[in-house]
Chain A
Amino acid sequence: MYDKTVRRRRAVLILLVVLSLLLLTAYFGEAPSGRLHGVQRGFLTVVSPIQDGANKALKPVRDLFGWFGETLHAKSQRDQLLKQADKLRRELVTDQAEKRSYHELLSLYHLDQLGVNDYHPVTATVVGKSPNIWYSTVTIDKGSSSGVRDNDPVINGEGLVGKVDLVASDGAQVELITDSTMGVSARIGTGNATGIVQPKVGDPNDLLLQYLPATASAVPGQYVVTSGTVASPDDSLYPPGILIGQVTSVNEESAYKSVNVRPMANLHNLDIVQVLTAARGTRAANISGLAANLPPGQNTGASGVAGEQLASTGTG
């Protein structure tokens, strides 16, 4: 009787471990359009409305817990923001003059840039968040029925939040810019040199802008924005000029320069975000579609950084 119990216990353990390994291997090797990804998509379709309802019901509980933490940080943030507002006011005056010259130059050279105007923002509510330090993802309550598609950029009032990773009919999974699989082509301020913004796994308050040319200028305090490069094959998923973060320190390396960046968007406390959906046939939609169809290892998933990084390594 004892032997039978021991044998059964061990058999169950071995069976579950083997099953987990089989799932892992199959999932890891298949394309994003594969069967297991399809199951996940189906699951998301089923649970999205439940999560949405639960999110609304539990909002008071979340707000109560959040209130304590937010109150503690409010004072230091206020002082910091006052200083920032003074600085930005001075910069605004300069930028307005530069903007005028910029538009004149654009019309002069007929530059066909990919801009935010190519996108239709869809406002969504965050209904779930991953607790995992490796997978920084949130679930939103808008999906394909609202025009959201894979790889659509996601922003909020503060800056770039991430991109859509998986879409169900009434919900979608968004990979945050701090997710270990993310990479965004970016530039510092108005400079021409572009690099790749990647997360530093384990530190959600620090991003790394890598592969900047050694000659590129970078000073702490400067803003990092999406480069939105459109020179094929370096097309970016994100429109240009979306704020990503602020330079905190500069690391000199041999051939390239890397820069530490503090993300502007408060990714700990996301409530409302906007998905920048692109109309079919536009350049933005084509880029998103192309990235979504990349083979495994070149698109999303544990093995590869999003198409953005591969498409944009180097200057663009």
Chain B
Amino acid sequence: MMTGSGISGSLLVRLAALAVAVVFFQIGVVSEVPVFGVNVDLSPLLVAFVGLLCGSTLGAVCGFAVGLLVDLALVQTLGVTSLIFTLVGYWSGRLRELRDPQAALTPLLVGASASAVSLVGYSLMEFMLGVDAPVSFELLRQIILGILVNSVVALPMWAIVRRVLEGALPEDPRRRRRRRTYTTGGLSPLSRA
């Protein structure tokens, strides 16, 4: 079943299942295992990779939904994580639509950037909403360590997300054009010879 925008029902079901599984695995397991004093946060990685695989619109929608789920499950101020993850999902989707990076390290860089935007964005939002407690310089160290630790798990996370969504991903016009030009050889003078 395909919707008007080429997004299949199968993709939406897989995305929903993946989002719920990742958020609960995060809360129940990953958050309870600190690495170098910080916690790995899988949710910004998930949102960024969905954007990178499915495009900006689906990335933004997935970011909003995952953010809302996180805020509801952790009883945080509703809307803060949704706002940040919406931007993360949209931005990574636009990266795919404009540049379509194919390098092996792209997921690592995208994951690190998504974690940085998420951690810094969250801190900025909290500052804007008002902080009553004193803030330690350790916060900077925690943010940097958080980005590094998230980068380490970015590649395995990318493999999992791609594996789960494979087969249900929407066709990318840029990739289709490239395949027709270089792979099928329809326009190559060598194939005509």
Of A13, A47, A55, A304, the residue contacting B90 (CB under 8 A) is A13
Residues A16 and B64 in contact in the complex (CB < 8 Å), given A134-B122, A201-B139, A303-B129: yes
Of A12, A23, A166, A204, the residue contacting B61 (CB under 8 A) is A12
CA–CA, A25 and B129, complex, Å: 10
CA–CA, A44 and B138, complex, Å: 31
- Tell which of B69-77, B162-170, B184-192 binds the partner: B69-77
Size of interface on B: residues with Cβ below 8 Å to A: 60
Give residues 139-188 of A contacting B (CB, 8 Å).
Answer: 139, 165-166, 173, 180-183
Residues A61 and B74 in contact in the complex (CB < 8 Å), given A9-B56, A198-B133: no
CB-based contact B33/A27 at 8 Å: no
CB-based contact A20/B28 at 8 Å: no
Smallest Cβ distance from B74 to chain A, in angstroms? 5
CA–CA, A30 and B68, complex, Å: 18
Q: Which residue of B lies closest to A181 (CB)?
A: B132
- Tell which of B7-15, B80-88, B100-108, B152-160 binds the partner: B80-88
Of A17, A54, A128, A305, the residue contacting B132 (CB under 8 A) is A305
Q: Does B181 contact A (CB under 8 A)?
A: no
Of A9, A130, A202, A309, the residue contacting B31 (CB under 8 A) is A130
- Tell which of A62-70, A77-85, A230-238, A239-247 binds the partner: A62-70
CA–CA, A211 and B184, complex, Å: 75
The count of A-to-B residue pairs whose CB atoms sit within 8 angstroms is 187
Contact with A along B130-150 (1 / 0, CB 8 A): 111111111111110010000
Q: Does A199 contact B (CB under 8 A)?
A: yes
CB-based contact A131/B31 at 8 Å: yes
CA–CA, A127 and B31, complex, Å: 11
New contact pairs (11) apart from A39-B72, A205-B37, CB-CB < 8 Å: A17-B86, A27-B78, A44-B73, A54-B24, A128-B74, A131-B39, A131-B40, A137-B74, A202-B137, A206-B136, A210-B134
Question: Which 10 A-B residue pairings sit nearest by Cβ, starting from the closest?
Answer: A202-B139, A24-B79, A23-B79, A203-B138, A20-B83, A200-B136, A131-B39, A203-B136, A129-B31, A128-B27
Residues of A within 8 A of B (CB): 8-9, 12-13, 16-17, 19-28, 36, 39-40, 43-44, 47, 50-51, 54-55, 58, 61-62, 65-66, 69, 126-135, 137, 139, 165-166, 173, 180-183, 198-206, 208, 210, 268-269, 301-305, 309
